[in-house]
Amino acid sequence: MNGDQLIYLPLGGAGEVGMNLYVYGFGRPGKERLLVVDMGVSFPDMDGSPGVDLIMADPAWLVERADRIEGIVLTHAHEDHIGALAHLWPMLKARVIARRFTGLLAGMKLEEAGLDPKLIEVVGAWPETVTLGPFTVGVLPISHSIPESAGLVIDTPLGRVVHTGDFKLDVTPGVGEAWDEALWASVAAPGVRALVCDSTNVLVTHPGRSEADIAAALRAVIAGATGLIGATTFASNVARLKTLAEAATAAGRSVVLLGRAMRRLVEASVEAGVLTDFPRVLSPEEAVELPRQNLFLLATGSQGERRAATASLSRGKYLGLEMKEGDTFLFSSKTIPGNEKGVLRIWNNFSEMGVDVIDDRGGALHVSGHANRPDLQRMHALMRPAMVVPMHGDHRMLRAHAALANESGIASVIAVNGTMVDLSGDRPVVAEYVEPGRLYLDGTMLIGAMDGVVRDRIRLALNGHVIVTVIIDDDGEALGGAWCETMGLAQVGESKVPLVDILEEDLGQFLNRADRATLGDDDRLEENLRRVARQTAEAEIGKKPEVTVVISRLSA
């Protein structure tokens, strides 16, 4: 074993929240056998990635070393942990290991992508383990906001690493396993070299609350409302779906699930045996036959997603169901930073209908799925690791988490995506820097974030577009000037005549003056036409648009 090292390399999820992808390695430097943990996505936004469908870590580093990958282990079924598997697996073709419920949901995604869902190997909870090269890996139940979440116990010849996955310390989580302190203490007993730990809520200073704490508040709100009640939360928060559905049933209301993701999650949870005695649900067709005050709609789209059921309800009828004056709509969720605009749009749409919107109310109607600062301290104290490596957080979260560990005298490191950390010694040491990248799923294609596709799209969106067409005849003369079309630009500028006319006029004059050398050289002609078009547009409308020049040459 002399000369072997144990490394940790985040390729996604460290220095940002989302698209988690972590790598562990063991062996001689540069020859390590690799273990991949999670393969998630982030969601695009109009500012930075317009038109993009999904964002994921660029696996280029792994693809080059695909023959060294012993396996991919999934901690839980949230999109930021499994969403990229179906897109990236074909490049890696490694074994995939998950618990049953996680495997079921990841398998559905593989199937949709035309891959075999059976390639996921289901593993039972710790103390069951699976051997992946030099790694012996066990999945250790922990509470979070989706069933069957797991931390990983990763045993190597250089000792034990515990990768927490996403977690909270909830002894009454409703659905899914409760936080089992004795179980985690037993894992810590032989000694933990490194605790690689969720950082999401390190900046929240009060101890986390339990899912059970909000049930009474939700029941009171639902019991007190008249008319139709709608509610939304994350579809994957099966415990919350159950809490809400039970509160509705207690108030004499029938539950209707709206949105494919919500039905799918409830079905998968029942199939995997993690959800029992969920109240009977009505189809929208059955629901329209019932009095409105006897209904409870549970809808997808808590983050303001335009195409989800909640947004549809806020714009009018959805599957024959409609919110009206005097109805109530409940947001039992936190708005993720960046999604505020979309959520606010929905609140205002409901407001215009006369629907009362009830949001999180300072935490009364929602609890987070992540451990707060005091809970992280409790985890550090319980595991007593030689080092804490913060993951799953943006830079200030990683930094605060590293400082928190230091406060308890535990060595730590701030390792953002691409930072390879050597865990072999008594403290974490940055060994190397790998250029991290991201891929976009754009339509059906995976493209590199730096390929320029989206950059061009943003430029077109910001600046507008002019198409200039010229024809050069077989004498090398411009035939009839230039033709222009514009997109995304004011039609009439300072001169009070159509912009297209001014552009064609100025470009025509340029063509008349142009010498044979310019007219004979495509590149030179194109560059000049672009310059003239941009100058004219700037003078007319104060913008320099993107210009596409099309030159056709007639030859005898």
**Does residue 166 bind Zn ion (CB under 5 A)?**
yes
Cα–Cα distance, 409 to 402 (Å, whole number): 11
Supply the minimum distance, in Å, between the C-beta of residue 249 and Zn ion.
Answer: 27
Supply the minimum distance, in Å, between the C-beta of residue 78 and Zn ion.
Answer: 4
Residue 80 or residue 327: which is nearer to Zn ion going by CB?
A: 80
Contact (Cβ atoms closer than 8 angstroms) between residue 292 and residue 227: yes
Supply the minimum distance, in Å, between the C-beta of residue 81 and Zn ion.
Answer: 6
Name the segment binding Zn ion (CB under 5 A); options: 111-119, 164-172, 184-192, 202-210: 164-172
Residue 80 or residue 422: which is nearer to Zn ion going by CB?
A: 80
Unique residue bearing structure tokens 């629907």: 355
Cα–Cα distance, 502 to 484 (Å, whole number): 10
Rg (alpha carbons) of the chain, rounded to whole number:
29
Q: How many residues bind Zn ion (CB under 5 A)?
A: 3
Residue 16 or residue 58: which is nearer to Zn ion going by CB?
A: 16
**Does residue 198 bind Zn ion (CB under 5 A)?**
no
Cis bond leading into 173, ω under 30°?
no
Name the segment binding Zn ion (CB under 5 A); options: 166-174, 179-187, 189-197, 414-422: 166-174
For 361, which DSSP code?
G
Supply the minimum distance, in Å, between the C-beta of residue 83 and Zn ion.
Answer: 10
Name the segment binding Zn ion (CB under 5 A); options: 52-60, 76-84, 132-140, 502-510: 76-84
Name the segment binding Zn ion (CB under 5 A); options: 100-108, 162-170, 186-194, 215-223: 162-170
- 343-353 b/e (C-beta count within 10 Å ≥ 16 → b): beebbebbeeb
Supply the minimum distance, in Å, between the C-beta of residue 18 and Zn ion.
Answer: 7
Unique residue bearing structure tokens 């007593």: 384
The phi and psi torsions of 425 (rounded to 5 degrees) equal -90, -155
Q: Could you tell me the two tokens for 217?
A: 């508040």
**Does residue 78 bind Zn ion (CB under 5 A)?**
yes
Contact (Cβ atoms closer than 8 angstroms) between residue 219 and residue 250: yes
Closest CA to 165 of 185, 139, 193: 139
Supply the minimum distance, in Å, between the C-beta of residue 79 and Zn ion.
Answer: 9
Supply the minimum distance, in Å, between the C-beta of residue 455 and Zn ion.
Answer: 28
Among 80, 155, 442, 504, binds Zn ion (CB under 5 A): 80
Contact (Cβ atoms closer than 8 angstroms) between residue 21 and residue 59: yes
Unique residue bearing structure tokens 């008349």: 512
Closest CA to 297 of 255, 264, 355, 262: 255
- Report the run of H or E that residue 328 belongs to, with start and end: strand 328-331
Supply the minimum distance, in Å, between the C-beta of residue 237 and Zn ion.
Answer: 10
Supply the minimum distance, in Å, between the C-beta of residue 402 and Zn ion.
Answer: 19
Name the segment binding Zn ion (CB under 5 A); options: 80-88, 122-130, 235-243, 442-450: 80-88
Residue 393 or residue 464: which is nearer to Zn ion going by CB?
A: 393
- Provide the residue count of the chain: 556
Supply the minimum distance, in Å, between the C-beta of residue 76 and Zn ion.
Answer: 6
Residue 79 or residue 504: which is nearer to Zn ion going by CB?
A: 79
Three-class SS state of 101: helix
Supply the minimum distance, in Å, between the C-beta of residue 90 and Zn ion.
Answer: 23
Q: Could you tell me the two tokens for 26?
A: 């063991």
Closest CA to 368 of 323, 410, 336: 336
Residue 148 or residue 166: which is nearer to Zn ion going by CB?
A: 166
Residue 197 or residue 248: which is nearer to Zn ion going by CB?
A: 197
Cα–Cα distance, 7 to 506 (Å, whole number): 63
| Sheet strand arrangement including 328-331 | 281-282, 254-258, 295-299, 229-232, 328-331, 356-358
Name the segment binding Zn ion (CB under 5 A); options: 93-101, 161-169, 262-270, 510-518: 161-169
Residue 40 or residue 134: which is nearer to Zn ion going by CB?
A: 40
Residue 80 or residue 246: which is nearer to Zn ion going by CB?
A: 80
**Does residue 163 bind Zn ion (CB under 5 A)?**
no
Residue 70 or residue 148: which is nearer to Zn ion going by CB?
A: 148
**Does residue 38 bind Zn ion (CB under 5 A)?**
no
Residue numbers 209-248 binding Zn ion by CB under 5 A: none
Name 47's Cβ contacts closer than 8 Å, sequence gap at least 6: none
Residue 42 or residue 349: which is nearer to Zn ion going by CB?
A: 42
Chain residues that interact with Zn ion, rule: CB under 5 A: 78, 80, 166
